[in-house]
Amino acid sequence: MVLTAGRSDTTRARAALENLCQTYWPPLYAYVRRRGYSSEDAQDLTQAFFARLLERNAVAAVAPEKGRFRSFFLASMNHFLSDEWDKARAQKRGGGKVISLDFQSAETRLGEIPAENFTPEKAFEHRWAITLLEQVYQQLGEEYRAQGKGTLFDALRTALAGASDAAPYAELARQLALTEGAVKVAVHRLRQRYRTLLRETIADTVSGPDEVEDELRYLFRTLAGG
Amino acid sequence: MTDEKKCPHCGKPVPPTALGDICPECMLKAGLASQTEGPGGAGPQGTKIIQPPLTPAEIAALFPQLEILECLGRGGMGVVYKARQPRLNRIVALKILAQEKDQDGQFVERFTREAQALARLNHPNIVTVHDFGEAGGHCYLVMEFVDGLNLRQLLLAGKMPPDQALTIVPMICEALQYAHEQGVVHRDIKPENILLEKSGRVKIADFGIAKMMGVGDGRQALTGAKDVVGTPHYMAPEQLEKPLTVDHRADIYSLGVVFYEMLTGELPLGKFAPPSKKVQIDVRLDEVVLHTLEKEPARRYQQANQLKTDVETISGTVPPGAAGFAARTGAFSQAAGKTTSDKALLPALLLAFPFGLFGAHRFYVGKIGSAFLQLGAFGGCILLIIACATNAPQPTTGILLGFLMLGCFIWATIDWILILCKAFTDGQGRRITNWLHPQAGELNTAVSPLANPPSPPPPGGAAPSAAGPQPAPMAHEKTPVNGTGKIVAPAVGLMIAGLWKLLSAFNNALFLLPGGSQWLDKIMGEHFFSGRGSLVIFGIVLFKLVPGLLILFGGYQMLRLRSYAWAVAAGIISIVACSLVSLPIGIWALIILARQDVRETFARATVSPPSRTGLWPWLLAAVAGVIVIGLFCTVVLVREVVGGISPIGGKPGITARMDDASDSTTGEMAIPVSPVAPENAASAPPPVRIKAGSSRPLTDSEGNLWLADQGFPDGETTERSDHLAIANTEDPTLYQSERYGMTSFAYPVPNGKYVVKLHFAETYDAIKGPGGRVFTFIVEGHEFKDFDVWARAGGAQRACVETVTVEVTDGKLNIYFIHQQENPEINGIEILPAPPAVPIQTDSNALIVPATHGDSSKTLNISSQNGQVVIETTNGRLTTDKVQLQTNPNGSLNLTASKVHYVVAPTPPTSPVAPAPPVPPTPASATMSSQPMTAGTLSEPHVQKTKIIGNLLTKDEFQQDFNRTLPLAANGRLSLDNVNGRIEIAGWDRHEVAIKALKHGKTRESVEAAKIIINSRPDEILIHTEQPSSVTGFPWSWLWFKNSKRNDGIVDYAIQVPQNARLKNISSVNGHIVIEDVSGDIEASTVNGETQISGAVGNLKLSTVNGRIEAQLASLGRGQSVSLDAVNGRIEAILPSNADAQVSASTLNGGISSEFASLVVKKEFPVGSNLKGKLGNGGAHVKASTVNGGIRFRRGKDVQ
């Protein structure tokens, strides 16, 4: 996705970039908030930041070899905050290009994240990990629903967490009117697909396949370490 | 607050997310659990996650005709399995393309089309496509299985010897050439696609797959192919920019990248150095590699086989035969590195014909030896043609063959000359018809050392008539006739010329000694001979030795009246050899030999003795040939064994290497990664050097340091983006910091002072000009605003280092970059501990502080133990005993000094006069700005700072500074002699001469060769400049070796002398002389130059030819004498208004003008003008005269 976004001339790339921004803005918003900006300022900043990204097509220069997309976002935002904010404000927020971002829910969630011992960077990373999971979760759900297995997904979704044998298979089987074995297989498939999707999504944000596992572990530490 | 849910797995509260009640931590943990991988696991290259995770069972189901053995790996294009075709009992590679079938069938159509083209490719160096098709929605290819490694693995395993690269590249070229001829472009040449069989054969895989996949042609975004395939590093520029115009030349570029990587281990990114700068290889390869890497396709090699030929020529796989040798020699003057074998082919073809013809004729006339020689040369030509046509291997054999042939060629050519000489002027006045029909009477009289014993005279026929009117008995008389006396002198001359040649050959042979070629390099210019090695030098020796011997022998034959033909041949050879000695002698000898009486003398002398020629010349020739060839072989072999710079490569060791690695050829391979020197320890105390690719040389040919953007240690590169990159990825601390857009950088260092060097460079996307790359950065509070890399690097030099001294107090060195226009390219940051502030001690009583950059902060502590520190600025002078200077980025100058005495320097003559504001001595410290200093008067009129004028720096100009200070003689007399330079002399108050000279020229050699010679005598100093000569090397070499760049060395002087110095004998040719504020007497002359004297007080004697004199006198009065003379020049005299002088001026063909009322111009008939007049009381004498030039008297300002 990053790569697709990097190609500037097609509308498709534009869409990809917008999609990218839509997906990954909450961590940045969290970060900006943690940096001590008011929610209004943070909203403006995040908006302006993405507008600027779109305007300059800065992602174009991001090749997959470059490293983690997460770091790129953070760095760019840092940079943006240190220097560009005044300019961006003067330019009427990126020349009228405004992405609609649901700040309300972000704000709500932000309030829920334990604030103590949270540096802006940690908040960003924490939020990043969750956004990533949400992305995967949503995609997974869409996939299942597209195949008409929406109910199955809704029933099995809790099994995405925890150890594989911890899922309440019997209960699920009863719920879905399936055999326990069938549920086990379904859960296995779901997890399998989830892992694949997770890695694919992460692969989009890192430079090489060898970094996927690293990133995964890093994100896990981020979440676990709180 | 919502009611807090607890995760059933970990018990922690679940934060509100879009995941609902799923605990993200546990979800991620579940995701962390190892994923069941597809068959074979990740490939050796570890690629992106590939969409179709087909199980072996699925594969087997899809391909019942195949026995799937194992998964070989995954590439961006798909998964490759090793499989067996049971019926054929053949191992094949099955490639299942990652591309899934799209709805509209476009892909399938393209796939089919391309696969058919691929299946047609049948070449030993191309992986054959056996079959292709579609199964289960997956397109697949069944290909030849290559048992071996790919080039990437080989490169990772360690450094590749250049020999090996030189073996691999031609094979790739062959394959590419073949494919290109078939209209197939690979589009994705990279080391991963170049397979090396265990047998050593190279095979290119994935031909045209890139096109099939729609990769690399801009149509990237196909479903599932979002994993990028191929890295842009190997793509030709046009592939990225104008994908629609890509043709086969893109492959040549990609191959060039691979070639460069094979040779140097690095990718040619940014401003890359030629390979020979990085590894020891033949310098001619540079040109080949750079030619492949031309950005413009039109400037690249147009065909892969051109590249192949050049590489093979250099690696020595084509025997450099006689003509090849000639081509090599010719390459001195032309651009080297053209295809030798192609060049050799034509001469060989052209020569073969006459050799064959002559050989046949000689055979026909019964001259077996001569025929043998000619036919030998003919055979040599044929061999050379064959060698050229087949690119025969075995370099050493080839060279021997070539030289044998060369020997034949030379001797056969001599034979031609003899034959032709005899044919046209055979001494007996016979015609060519006689020669063509020997039965008409040639053989009995013609005596050639090369000829066999003469046949018995044919009965009757033309013999008597051929002998002409001379009676036969006369021929037997040994008495000297008229011609003899005339013959001796040119004959001796020829022998001397021959000896001279031999001496010269011997002299050149000295270069073959160890160290000789380095010496030669030094003389002829950098890398002139390196790489060409002994072969060329040997050729030069041979080309002198052989003619020398022939001239000597011919001269001897002439002296002894033995052979007219040899004499003529010697004359011709000595003309052809064309040296200063042999040319006139050769002409002289031929003129003498053409005389009738001389010919008659020869005729008499040569007819008489029965032929004694026999075989001995042959033996002589054979012995000489054996010696020559033996000598050559010894030299070549010795140099090859010693491993010198001989370009002749041995057999490459590729097979052995492959065997070494053969135990791990399939599946996952344990490849030892070449060790990278871990130079940058994370927490190491200073010095800290951060740089990329620390295992490689970092300076380029111009001495610029290049740090990043060309391959980081872990293989990551910044590639061709214009993003700022910090050159370190191994350091985890840095890694945390941002690598994109690089906005801030914090490096943990112990507190203290550091010198931070920031290396900037223009890289791939070039700075287009001034202002092309401007940005602002802050290093620990030192702000560099609007830093323009272009301007700072001095325009075309394209790289610069900015140094700043900082103090770290918080344990971190912080650097922030603020992009403005385009993102800058910083190539590295060096952090070095600041040198302690060592006070500069000086025992002289003055010290000049060099000017600093206005916007960098520098601190300089200066103290003098028992003297004063004098600080010169452009408009003032400070005297103190201790001073600390600090320039600030805003341009101001902070000066802390004790006991400051400040004197304002004189203003330029044109500026308004203001009263002198002498700064009162400051007791403790003073801070002042250097900018707003007020202009003052000449309170100490002799103080004047000089600068070098006309420092013309063009793109490829070198320069070198020269600084020297000499104590000046008591009477202050100084003589200067200068050629092509500029002399500036200004008043000074020290009793010494400070000579600052800037030597510059187009090449480094010309700069180094420009000499400044200083002779310090008791009463005067003589300074003389010598220009480098354009003629270097060997006596005869001016024809071929003229190096026009050598003689452009120019020296710009700036000389500081005491104000009262007396300057005499200052002369300059094509140069300027500028003398300011010297009150002593001045004598100066220029040719084609300009003399500018200002502020003169003493006597002047200035003259010029074709130049201009401008003399500005500060005062003119009693006893002074001013004499200005110009031929074809102009004189401008600026005299003070209150001057006191008798003035007379005259000109021929020129005008005189005067701004003084009392100086009246009179026209004189018929030509010229005169001026006579008086200023004041007329105490001084001013005389000016010019021929063909004008004189102008201008009114200067008053002097008190």
Tens digits of per-residue pLDDT, B228-269? 344 567 778 777 666 667 788 888 888 888 888 888 877 776
- Residue span of the structural domain in which A38 resides: 1-112
Q: Which residue has the tokens 């607050």?
A: B1
Is A122 inside a domain boundary? no
The CA distance from A117 to the nearest CA of chain B, in Å, is 16
What percentage of chain B exceeds 70 in pLDDT?
Answer: 47
Flag the least confident range among A183-192, B46-55, B341-350, B915-924.
B915-924
3-state secondary structure string across B448-467: CCCCCCCCCCCCCCCHHHHC
pLDDT at B270: 64
Is the same domain home to A139 and A83? no
Query: Helix B596-607 vs helix B482-509: angle between axes, to the nearest 10 degrees?
Result: 80
Burial profile A176-205: b = 16 or more Cβ within 10 angstroms, e = fewer: eebeeeebbebbeebbeebbbbbbbbbbbb
Q: What angle do CA B831, B832, B836 make, to 5 degrees?
A: 145
Highest-confidence segment of A75-84, A193-202, B71-80, B675-684: A193-202
pLDDT at B824: 45
Residue B473 in this model has a pLDDT that exceeds 70: no
Which chain B residues are within 8 Å of A134, Cβ to Cβ? 17-19
Residue B552 in this model has a pLDDT that exceeds 70: yes
Residue B963, Ramachandran bin (φ over 0: left; ψ between -120 and 50: alpha; else beta) = beta
The CA distance from B140 to the nearest CA of chain A, in Å, is 24
Closest CA to A201 of A149, A135, A138: A135
Is the same domain home to A102 and A11? yes
Is the same domain home to A147 and A224? yes
Residue B503 in this model has a pLDDT that exceeds 60: yes
**Beta-carbon separation of A1 and B35 below 8 A:** no
pLDDT at A16: 64
Segment B676-720, tens digit of pLDDT:
333 333 322 233 333 333 223 333 333 333 333 333 333 333 332
pLDDT at A198: 86
Identify the H or E element spanning B806: strand B799-808
Q: How many other CB atoms sit within 10 Å of the CB of residue B678? A: 11
Is the same domain home to A149 and A73? no
Flag the least confident range among A27-41, B12-26, B508-522.
B508-522
Q: How many other CB atoms sit within 10 Å of the CB of residue B218? A: 17
pLDDT at B1182: 92
Average pLDDT (B747-755) is 72
pLDDT at A45: 78
Contact assessment for residue B470 and residue B429, using Cβ atoms and an 8 Å cutoff: no
Is A195 inside a domain boundary? yes
Separation CA B666–CA B73 (nearest Å): 9
**Beta-carbon separation of B723 and A130 below 8 A:** no
**Beta-carbon separation of B228 and A3 below 8 A:** yes
Is the same domain home to A164 and A224? yes
pLDDT at B1122: 92
Is the same domain home to A3 and A104? yes
Segment B979-995, tens digit of pLDDT:
777 777 777 666 677 77
Beta pairing class for B782-788 and B202-204: unpaired
pLDDT at B609: 46
Nearest CB neighbour to B28, from listed A76, A163, A223 = A223
pLDDT at B680: 32
**Beta-carbon separation of A4 and B15 below 8 A:** no
- Closest Cα in chain B to A108: B16
Average pLDDT (B496-516) is 76
Contact assessment for residue B490 and residue B585, using Cβ atoms and an 8 Å cutoff: yes
Contact assessment for residue B68 and residue B59, using Cβ atoms and an 8 Å cutoff: yes
Flag the least confident range among A85-94, A149-158, B701-710, B747-756.
B701-710
Is the same domain home to A69 and A165? no
Chain A, chain B: beta-carbon pairs less than 8 Å apart: 172
Q: Which of A46, A80, A112 is the last residue of a domain?
A: A112
State chain B's mean pLDDT as an integer: 63
- The reply to whether A182 touches chain B by the CB within 8 Å rule is no
Q: Which of A80, A112, A144 is the last residue of a domain?
A: A112
Q: What is the DSSP letter of B705?
A: B
- The reply to whether A217 touches chain B by the CB within 8 Å rule is yes
Q: What is the DSSP letter of B410?
A: H
- The reply to whether A58 touches chain B by the CB within 8 Å rule is yes
What percentage of chain B exceeds 90 in pLDDT?
Answer: 1
Strand partners, B1132: B1110, B1192
pLDDT at B724: 29
pLDDT at B1038: 39
Which chain A residues are within 8 Å of B26, Cβ to Cβ? 161-162
Is A118 inside a domain boundary? no
Is A124 inside a domain boundary? no
Is the same domain home to A11 and A96? yes
Flag the least confident range among B74-78, B958-962, B1186-1190.
B74-78
Q: How confident is the model at residue B622 (pLDDT cuts 50, 70, 90)?
A: confident
Peptide bond into A27 cis (omega under 30): no
Average pLDDT (B637-662) is 34
Is A85 inside a domain boundary? yes
Is the same domain home to A6 and A82? yes
Is the same domain home to A87 and A137? no
Residue A180 in this model has a pLDDT that exceeds 80: no
Average pLDDT (B389-406) is 51
Q: Decide which of B440 and A2 is more confident.
A: A2
Q: How confident is the model at residue B775 (pLDDT cuts 50, 70, 90)?
A: low
State chain A's mean pLDDT as an integer: 71
Q: Decide which of A191 and B43 is more confident.
A: A191
User: pTM value?
Assistant: 0.31
Nearest CB neighbour to B25, from listed A76, A137, A223 = A223
Residue B84, Ramachandran bin (φ over 0: left; ψ between -120 and 50: alpha; else beta) = beta
Contact assessment for residue B607 and residue B525, using Cβ atoms and an 8 Å cutoff: no
Contact assessment for residue B1021 and residue B1004, using Cβ atoms and an 8 Å cutoff: no
Closest CA to B77 of B180, B222, B177, B258: B222
**Beta-carbon separation of B232 and A66 below 8 A:** no
Q: Decide which of B483 and B48 is more confident.
A: B483
Which chain B residues are within 8 Å of A162, Cβ to Cβ? 8-9, 26, 29-30
Is the same domain home to A200 and A108? no
Average pLDDT (B810-822) is 63
Choosing among A87, A102, A112, which should be mutated to test the B contact, i.e. which has the most B CBs within 10 A?
A112
Segment B860-914, tens digit of pLDDT:
555 554 445 555 554 455 555 566 655 555 545 555 555 444 444 443 333 333 3
The CA distance from B37 to the nearest CA of chain A, in Å, is 10
Q: Decide which of B781 and B463 is more confident.
A: B781
pLDDT at B265: 79
pLDDT at B1123: 92
Q: What is the DSSP letter of B680?
A: -
Choosing among B25, B45, B710, B783, which should be mutated to test the A contact, i.e. which has the most A CBs within 10 A?
B25
Q: What is the DSSP letter of B1048?
A: G
Flag the least confident range among A89-103, A163-177, B693-707.
B693-707
In chain A, how many domains are there? 2
Is the same domain home to A17 and A99? yes
Segment B799-812, tens digit of pLDDT:
566 778 888 787 77
Is A146 inside a domain boundary? yes
**Beta-carbon separation of B743 and A112 below 8 A:** no
What percentage of chain A exceeds 70 in pLDDT?
Answer: 64
**Beta-carbon separation of A75 and B19 below 8 A:** no
Segment B1068-1086, tens digit of pLDDT:
877 788 888 888 888 888 8
Q: Which of A112, A143, A176 is the last residue of a domain?
A: A112
Residue B1140 in this model has a pLDDT that exceeds 80: yes
Segment A133-163, tens digit of pLDDT:
888 888 888 888 888 888 888 878 777 776 6
Q: Which residue has the tokens 């007049």?
A: B1173
Separation CA B128–CA B145 (nearest Å): 9
Is A52 inside a domain boundary? yes
- The reply to whether A108 touches chain B by the CB within 8 Å rule is yes
Which chain B residues are within 8 Å of A195, Cβ to Cβ? 30-31, 33, 35
Contact assessment for residue B567 and residue B483, using Cβ atoms and an 8 Å cutoff: no
Q: How confident is the model at residue A197 (pLDDT cuts 50, 70, 90)?
A: confident
Which amino acid does the sequence have at B922? Answer: T
The answer to whether ipTM exceeds 0.85 is no
Q: Edge-to-edge strands of the sheet including B688-690?
A: B688-690, B826-833, B752-761, B799-808
Closest CA to B449 of B406, B418, B428: B418
pLDDT at B289: 85
Is A181 inside a domain boundary? yes
Average pLDDT (B308-323) is 62
Separation CA B948–CA B586 (nearest Å): 52
Q: Decide which of A220 and B684 is more confident.
A: A220
The CA distance from A41 to the nearest CA of chain B, in Å, is 22
Burial profile B960-981: b = 16 or more Cβ within 10 angstroms, e = fewer: eeeeeeeebbeebbbbbbbbbb
